[in-house]
Chain A
Amino acid sequence: LAKTTQPISMDSYEGQEVNITCSHNNIATNDYITWYQQFPSQGPRFIIQGYKTKVTNEVASLFIPADRKSSTLSLPRVSLSDTAVYYCLRRGNTPLVFGKGTRLSVIA
């Protein structure tokens, strides 16, 4: 199974930058790193995806070092509405397997 490891929970104040790191030591050559966000009682929502180096979109940035054994999701200036569970997944040729995710709580 495509396993990843990430912190169970994180707290942050509004307006701060939040960085969530994910470990994927056994990543395969054809795996991409994909991050999803899930609010209670909703399906996961795609945030960002990358293979290596840095990817940025209107929501977040994703940093993947050269060895690709880890990745960091960066959320700039979080707000209360960013409180959610964030999942880091390896996307290859097999179905997406979800780990426990990181429960981010943004505090006013």
Chain B
Amino acid sequence: GAVVSQHPSWVICKSGTSVKIECRSLDFQATTMFWYRQFPKQSLMLMATSNEGSKATYEQGVEKDKFLINHASLTLSTLTVTSAHPEDSSFYICSARQTAGANVLTFGAGSRLTVL
């Protein structure tokens, strides 16, 4: 079945530094990937839609200059949290849609970011 891989699975960084999270579709091509954020005991919140070869579409309230998204190939999207602060600490999850077959959205395992 379709597999989406995220790296790193967890990261700790100092306040003010930038962190990059990678999302790869391992056995299928994904023209569109989605980035979600999840705080403890809460649901997933859609941050942005990542489109291969074009600019990402951000949801209302998500700062595009802080959360940089690059989708340079059909199998890779990256999310860079710039100048991270403790309030950016969260669980970041990416997903990709396999357009063939059942058109199901497959999620990565998530990346836990802790900003000190």
From the candidates B34, B110, B112, name the one contacting A96 in the complex (CB within 8 A).
Answer: B34
Nearest-Cβ distance from residue A9 to partner chain B, whole angstroms: 12
Q: Which residues of chain B have C-beta atoms less than 8 A from A87's C-beta? A: 43
Do A98 and B107 touch across chains, with their CB atoms under 8 A apart? no
| Contact B102–A49 (Cβ < 8 Å) | yes
| A96: B residues at CB distance < 8 A | 34, 46, 95, 105
Q: Is residue B104 within 8 Å, beta carbon to beta carbon, of the partner chain? A: yes
Q: A87 → chain B, closest Cβ, in Å?
A: 7
Contact mask for chain B residues 22-65; partner A; CB cutoff 8 A; 1 contact, 0 none = 00000000000010100000011110010000000000000000
* Residue of A whose beta carbon sits closest to that of B94: A43
Interface string of B74-94 (1 = CB under 8 A from A): 000000000000000001010
The answer on a CB contact under 8 Å between B104 and A99 is no
Which residues from 67 to 108 on chain A have a C-beta closer than 8 Å to any C-beta of chain B? 87, 91, 95-101
Q: How many residues of A contact B (CB 8 A)?
A: 18
Interface residues of A in 7-41 (CB under 8 A from B): 34, 36, 41
Return the chain A residue nearest B32 by Cβ. Answer: A95
6 additional contacts (CB under 8 A) given A87-B43, A100-B43: A43-B93, A43-B107, A43-B108, A96-B46, A96-B105, A98-B44
Interface size class of B (residues with CB under 8 A): 20 to 34
Q: Mark B1-37, 1 if CB is under 8 A from A, else 0.
A: 0001010000000000000000000000000001010
Interface contact B44-A95, CB-CB below 8 Å: no
Whether A34 and B104, one on each chain, are in contact in the complex, defined by CB atoms closer than 8 angstroms, is: yes
Which residues of the partner chain A approach B95 to less than 8 Å between Cβ atoms?
43, 96
Chain B residues near A42: list those with CB within 8 A: 109-110
Q: By the criterion CB–CB under 8 Å, are B104 and A46 in contact?
A: yes
A-B pairs with beta carbons under 8 Å apart, 15 shown: A34-B104, A41-B112, A43-B93, A43-B108, A43-B109, A44-B44, A44-B107, A46-B106, A96-B95, A98-B36, A98-B43, A98-B44, A98-B45, A98-B46, A99-B43
Q: Is A54 an interface residue (CB 8 A)?
A: no
Q: Which of A43, A46, A91, A97 contacts B46 (CB 8 A)?
A: A97
